[in-house]
Each structure stands twice: as structure tokens, then as C-alpha cells.
Structure 1
Amino acid sequence: MIERLLPPTIQSRHSLEDKPESTLLPGEEDLIANAVPKRRAEFTTARWCAREAMGKLGVAPAPILRGERGAPIWPTGIVGSMTHCLGFRAAAVALSTDIAGVGIDAEVHDKLPEGVLDLVSLPSERTHLAQLSAGWPDVWWERLLFSAKESVYKVWFPQTGEWLGFEEAALTFSPESGTFTAALLRNGPFKTLHGKFLVEDGFVLTAIVLEHAPGQADRP
């Protein structure tokens, strides 16, 4: 499903179940040495998805370790993003010469827990969500907002190395086109990000692709 939100330059893989045959590579086991079985399964399957996607790019399997604030450390020359929620794991990767960054997120399509919306949204966004809910009542727009902000952060942090609070991005959705726009409310390398979303089979999926500025693609 996630591939429907991504251009051909980005390879992806998703799984609706954990993969018993998936294994961890050196260094990855240390990251979840004390994890409960559920966490271990989602961690391992997400990395299985990532290696499957990298294989489509002709990239050999490699450990995906964890850096500052838990961000994945991708092999040299690769940009990517991973996500997992109940019943869904996915990864999307691309060559850094093709794409500057990518952020994906998956959530179960359901109402946010009580009180969470106020923590992750701006007053203007809550007004926007109320309007969307009146026209498209079958969508949990608050969950979609949360997912889209997760995708924003997954693009922002690798570019800046800085935290981005939920209140530092203002989102608007276009239901007819399945797209959204994020206006960044702090100084940074970009002021606006554009993404796509999909609500299907009990999941909310969001994705943002950051293209290179003209003349700024990485060199091999």
C-alpha cells in the first residue's frame, strides 16, 4: 500500500505480519537486548522490510543501527524511513543521489486517545479537522494529523539534527487529492513540505518525499 504514495525512485516493502524468518544483523541485537517480544518483533520485521527494499535498489543487506533520538542510521548512499503499528510494518528507501529525504508513517485508523489531540495540534488545525470531519465523517482526521506530523518529523530531523515539536508544523489536508501541506513554523532548510495520505484496510498511511534542490544532489 505504501508504494502508492511514493515515486518510482523510492523502493518500499510492507508486511501485515511479523516475519519469523527475519534475522538481525551485527549491532542491531544490542539495540533491543532488553525489549519485550512485541517490540522485538516489530523492530525486526521493520528492518526486514528495509533490507528487502534496499535489495530492490541493488544494495546488499546491512545493519540499520540507531542514532540520535532513535533515528535510523542508513548505509552510506541511502536515505530511508521505517514505520510500524499494530498489524503493519513498512520501510521506504532511495539512493541519496535521487532523493534528499523521505518520511513515512502508518497508524491504525481509529480515534486518538483522549487528550492527545490537544497535545499534537494547533487551534487552527482543530478547526480545520472539524470542517473535514463534517464533509468526510468516515475518516479519523485527528489520527491522520498525528501520522502526517510523524512523517514531517522523519524528514525534518535527518536534515537538521534538531527536534521539531508538534506545534512547530501547521498542516492542512486536501481530501479530494489525498495530499497535505505542512508549513514549518521555525527556521530551517525548508518552510513547506508536501505529502500524500491514504486511508485503507483499517490503516492511515502518510508519506513525504523531499526532493533535492537544483544542483544539490549528493555525488557518489
Structure 2
Amino acid sequence: MIEPILPAGAVAVEARTDPPGLTAHPAEEPLLARVVDKRRREFTTVRDCARRALVLLGHPAGPILPGQRGAPVWPAGVVGSMTHCDGYRGAVLAPAAALAGVGVDAEPHAALPDGVIRLVAGPGERDRLAGLAAARPQVWWDRLLFSAKESVYKAWFPLTGRWLDFTEADVSFAPAAGTFTARLLVPGPVVGGRRLDTLDGRFLVTDGLILTLVAVPPAPV
């Protein structure tokens, strides 16, 4: 599903269901000691996707353990991101030479719960969402904005090691192109000695799902 928005150099592995009998890597089992069955299945399937993506990049299918703030720890020379929601699990990975960072998010194509949009969007964003909703009412733009900001954060954090609040990035959509730009309202990550003031992404709305992806280009050689 995600291929139309996948950047050059990246690989993706996806699943729409949890394969019967799939088990976690032994090194990941301690992380699942107290989790409910639904969470176990999500965790296990999305990491299986990530391991299969690692193999596509020529790396061993080892455990994928959480690091700082729960972000997955990838082998040296690899950047990646995982996501899951009802009906979708997926992982996008790339060699660090191809991308400096990547963030991916999947969400159900449905409205956000009441009141959440004010936590996610600033006044300017809410105004733009109202215009988008009037022009293209078939898209739940509030959920799309939420997903875009999740992808922004997943690309941001490995590069900075810092939290990024929803209100610290201002996102604008280009619907016809299927793209978005996040203008960072705090100092951005430094890649190859250059500070990034924006992060760019692509989005896809299909088969009851929203998929968003942010790819950070590598430093110039």
C-alpha cells in the first residue's frame, strides 16, 4: 500500500493482519510480560515487518529493542520507523547513506475524537483545515494532520534526541501533490552541518487508512 509514497532508497514491509502463530524475538519477550493480547500481536507483527525489511537491506533479522523514549534502536547504518493501527502494521527502513531519517504513521481514516484537534493544531492550521474540508470533504483532514505530525516527530527524534510538541510544527498540505511541509517552530535538527527549518512528507488516503511519511535527505557528500 505504501509504495506510492516510499522515498528512493527505502524499503517497506507491511501487514494488514497478524499472522497466526507469529512469535516475538526471544530478546523482545521481556518487553511483553505484562501486555494484553492485542498489544502483543501489534508489537510482534510490526517488528516482524521490520526484521523482514532489515533482511532486504542485507542485515540480520535481530531484535528491535526500544531506546530513548521508546524509539526503536536500529543497526548501525540504518534509519527506520514503524507504525501500527487497526488493520495495518508497517515498517520503513533505509540505509543511512540514502536517508538521514524517516518517520511513518498509519491511522484509521476517521475523524479525531472531540477536542483533540485543539491539542494538535494551532489557529492557522485549523483555519487551513477548514478550507481543505470545504474543498475536499471526502478526507478527514484533522486525522491527516495528526498523522503527519506523528511522522514528523518520528523523523525528528532520532536526529535530535528531543521531544517535539504538536504545537511546535506548523503543517501545510498540498492536496493535489499528496505532499505536506512541516515548518519547525523550534530549532530544527542539524544534518551535515545544516540546520533544517522544515521537514517534508507525503501522504496517502486509501482503503480506510491514512498513511504519512517524512523522509529527511542525507547530508550532501
User: TM-score band (shorter)?
Assistant: over 0.9
Q: Could you tell me the TM-score, scaled by structure 2's length?
A: 0.95
Deviations 1:175-209 (A, max 9, x none): 10000000000012221011000000000000011
Give 1:69-218 correspondences, 5 Å limit: 69-189=69-189, 190-215=196-221
Tell me the distance in 1 between the aligned counterparts of 2:122 and 2:212.
Answer: 19
Aligned to 1:64: 64
Tell me the distance in 1 between the aligned counterparts of 2:208 and 2:159.
Answer: 31
Percent identity of equivalent pairs: 56
Aligned to 2:192: none
Report deviation, 1:8. Answer: 3.3
Deviates more, 1:186-195 or 1:116-125: 186-195
Contact kept? 1:80, 1:91, Cα under 8 Å? yes
**Structure 2, gaps ≥5 residues long:** 190-195
Q: Could you tell me the TM-score, scaled by structure 1's length?
A: 0.95
Contact kept? 2:106, 2:147, Cα under 8 Å? yes
Tell me the distance in 1 between the aligned counterparts of 2:134 and 2:118.
Answer: 19
Contact kept? 2:96, 2:218, Cα under 8 Å? no
Deviations 1:151-190 (A, max 9, x none): 0000100000000000000000011000000000001222
Q: 1:52 to 1:144 in 2, by over 3 A?
A: same
Contact kept? 1:80, 1:103, Cα under 8 Å? yes
**Structure 1, gaps ≥5 residues long:** 216-220
Contact kept? 2:188, 2:198, Cα under 8 Å? no
Runs of 4+ in structure 1 displaced over 3 angstroms? none
The count of corresponding residues between Structure 1 and Structure 2 is 215
Aligned-CA RMSD value: 0.9
